[in-house]
Structures are given as C-alpha cells and as structure tokens.
Amino acid sequence: MTELGKHKLGRHSATNLSPELDDYQLAAELVREAGQLALLMRQGGLDAQRKTSISDVVTAADHAAEAYVLEQLQRCRPDDGVLGEEGAAVRGSSGRTWVIDPVDGTYNFLQGSTYWCSAIALKDESDVLLGAIFQPEEDKLWIGGKQRATTLNGDPVTTFREDGTNRNAADLSHLGAATYIHPRWLSDPMCAMPWHAAATSAATLRMLGSGSCDLGRVADGQLGCWFQHSCPEWDWLPGKAIVTAAGGVAGSVHVNGLEWFMAGGTTAVHQLRAALESGSVD
C-alpha cells in the first residue's frame, strides 16, 4: 500500500479484519473499508493517470484501496486467489478467487459525483458465489449470493418477488435500461448496431458511469435492466451475484465478436438478448 494510503487508512480504521468473519461479512467489511479509504483520499486531492482514454483513469485511491483489500484477504483467506482491476493477482489453492474493483466509476469519482462504489465478488471454478457493492457517499451496501438473498443496508430486496408486481414478467419496452458505451465504439457498426437495437427497445436509457452501481439498482428496482459489452470480471461478477440473489437473471451473448452482458428480469433479459442478436452482421 502507498504511504498516502497507509496514512489515510490509519485515520479511518487501524483494526485488521477478523478471519472469523464469514464470507458475506468479510465482503461487506472489505467494500466498506475500501470505499471509505478512497473517499478520504479524494478529500485530500488526487491526480489521475489515463489508462485507455480520457474517461478511463486510475488514481492513487484505486491502488491504495485495492492494496488494503489484498492485504486483508491474504490475512483472512490465505488459501484463496485474488484478482484485482489494478493488478492484484494471487493464485490460491482453494479453487476460490476474490475479484476486486476498488473504485468502480473512477471518472465519476474524480469529478465529484457520488455515483461510484467499491465492489467485490467471490467465485469458484463454476460460478460467482457472492457479491458486495458499497456506494460510500450514499451509504448504500448491497450484498447477496448463492447462500444469501440480496439485501440493501440489511433490508431484503423484493423487486423480483412473485406477486402482482413481479419484475421478472415486465416487458423491456416498459423499463428503463442502464447501459454504457464509449463514444468511439459508436463509430464501429459491429458494436453500434447491436447496442442501438437494444437501446431502442427500452422505454428510456440511463448512462451513469458505474456498472456495479447500476446493477445494485437493477436488483433493488430503481433501474429496470442493464446491458454492456466487453465487461471484465470485476465490472460484472459483483453485480451479477447481487441481481441473481435478488431473484433476477443475468447472462451474456456473443454478437459480432463481442460479448454482451445483461441483467434484469427474465422477460427483459430475453428481449435484450434478442435485440442484441438482431444487430448481428454475420
């Protein structure tokens, strides 16, 4: 961890996490601590480095938050692997891997928006087991997985409950869809055609800049559904776990050489898949 990160963390929390925490408790504490550390570092001023474009950036807060999570996981789950957006790569012996996104929505984070989060997932060799997403400036913590239904700040999420308001049956044309596409991809028909087909199938669009924040809101009903192409695991697995543990569905489809990821209710995801496939040029 950087010296700045250590200094900020010392002001925030000097206590190491306990290995006795279960996986859900550990995930919740890790994203809370990482998010609070990043927020403290931003308050002290940060410079950004460009990665692939002016909107794809990284800061010292990203690195410090990931280093903290890595350190705690190596203490608390020494047999598990770790994969982080900012370079953490540990091969474990347990068959399980923690996937870290220390700051999802870094461009928003730097611009002073509250729409960013820290996210983590735990996966095994077959699927994602759990996810946790914490949005510090709005104090929202989503957590859920195969062994625990999704909660938001400890309260059950009931968006996809089986009654008259069952979101699984909602038609895409009646829902707001969250998405993201970089402007340069809109000039490539191989990407733009499927994206346009899906986008024009929804009632309205939202492009807010943090996939994990979007997916938490799909789970709790603030957003209707979500789609995006070419997501790395740290941008996809935390939210996938949370949406599916809330009773929704998540999946992907290959169109024109790109993998598109989708989440929401059963009907909406089926219709998103069909719309994306209609943009195929094969």
- Would the annotation count 101 as a binding residue? yes
d(C-alpha 159, C-alpha 271), whole Å: 19
Residue 264's contacts (CB-CB under 8 Å, 6 or more residues apart) are 167, 175, 218, 224, 225, 226, 243, 248, 249, 272
Which value, to the nearest 10 degrees, does the dihedral of the CA atoms of residues 265, 127, 71, 212 take?
A: -20
d(C-alpha 211, C-alpha 213), whole Å: 5
- In the β-sheet with 225-229, what is the strand arrangement from edge to edge? 204-206, 176-179, 225-229, 258-264, 249-255
d(C-alpha 194, C-alpha 275), whole Å: 7
Residue written as token pair 């059950």: 156
Q: Which two tokens stand for residue 105?
A: 């929505």
Nearest by Cα to 104 from 17, 215, 198:
215
Give the residue numbers of the binding site: 85, 101, 104, 235
Give the residue numbers of the binding site for Mg(2+): 85, 101, 104, 235
